Amino acid sequence: MSKISVDKLSIKFRIYHDRSPSLKDYVANLFRGKRQAAYSDFWAVRDISLEFNSGDRVGIVGHNGAGKSTLLKALCRVYESSDGKVTVDGRVAPLLEIGAGFHPEFTGRENIYLNGTILGYSEAQLRLIEPEVIAFAELEEFIDTPVKYYSTGMYMRLAFSLATAMHPDILILDEVFAGGDAGFMKKATARMFEMIDRANIMIMVSHDHKLVRSLCNRVVWLDHGRVVLDGPSDEVIDKYLESITNA
């Protein structure tokens, strides 16, 4: 059984006021003795403790900059904690931005292997899913063309088909819902729901409250890097929407 526990997690960003420090500034500051504070710290996630257990379908809501994506990235280990700890039991499929590992010069087929390996699929698994991925993306004709010649829709279809080809224990989604024409949207949504259905734990960030209500059984409301409310979907979303209309 999968499990994620987040223990007093904090993530700090350093914001540079003018520009990234050059070697010259660094050396100059060394000699000046006292270092000027050319940056300030920004806590994107502050002292969050959460536990996700098997069966959880978690939606994360909050206004822009509340730390939702940062929290997801911390769960996927992209950001390491500045303080506190994240423990993950189970195989995580991070779908933060599909098609991130695609290389424009490579053909669609080569990208299936390159990106698939990066997503953690084995060579044998990839050989197995390759025909299905190509068929789902409806790219049979163009699969041996470099992806830089693909239209945005073709690119999205391939990335989506590949990312959703496997069924991971823990599914982490950041506003990932496929683009494409109406026909593809329909079958992609069905595929997405199936993937969510089969996942042991699903955590998603979305601004689409209807979607969150229909997919999640638990919602975490974040504000300025802290948890405001954590509970059943309808209850938390109602309070969140209330706070927006009152503000």
Strand order from edge to edge, sheet including 201-205: 92-95, 170-174, 201-205, 57-61, 218-223, 226-231
- Cβ neighbours for 9, distance < 8 A, ≥ 6 positions apart: 45, 47, 48, 49, 71, 74, 81, 83, 84, 85, 86
Quote the CA–CA distance of 9 and 80 in Å, as a whole number. 10
Sign of CA dihedral 174, 179, 182, 187: negative
Binding residue (CB under 8 A) for other proteins from 28, 118, 135, 190: 118
For other proteins, the binding residue among 41, 51, 83, 123 (CB under 8 A) is 123
The least distance separating other proteins from the CB of residue 121, rounded to whole angstroms, comes to: 9
Query: 26 or 193: whose CB is closer to other proteins?
Result: 26
**Interacting residue with other proteins among 40, 53, 122, 189 (CB under 8 A):** 122
The β-bridge relationship of strands 218-223 and 226-231 is: antiparallel
Minimum Å gap between C-beta 120 and other proteins is 8
Nearest residue to 234 via CA among 97, 39, 114, 59: 59
Nearer to other proteins by Cβ, of 15 and 247: the residue is 15
Q: Interaction with other proteins in 32-91: which residues (CB under 8 A)?
A: 76-80
Is 84 exposed, middle or buried (CB count within 10 Å of its CB: 0-12, 13-18, 19+)?
Answer: middle
Smallest separation (angstroms) from other proteins to the CB of 197? 24
Supply the minimum distance, in Å, between the C-beta of residue 16 and other proteins.
10
# residues near other proteins by CB under 8 A? 28
Q: Check residue 101 for interaction with other proteins (CB under 8 A).
A: yes
Residue type (1 letter), 182: A
Q: Which stretch binds other proteins (CB under 8 A): 1-9, 116-124, 196-204, 229-237?
A: 116-124
Please list every residue from 19 through 38 that binds other proteins, using CB under 8 A: 20-24, 26
**Shortest distance (Å) from residue 157 CB to other proteins:** 19
Rounded to 5°, angle at Cα 76 from 71 and 78: 85
d(CA 181, CA 188): 10
Contact residues toward other proteins (CB under 8 A) are 13-14, 20-24, 26, 76-80, 94, 96-97, 100-101, 103, 105-106, 113-114, 117-119, 122-123
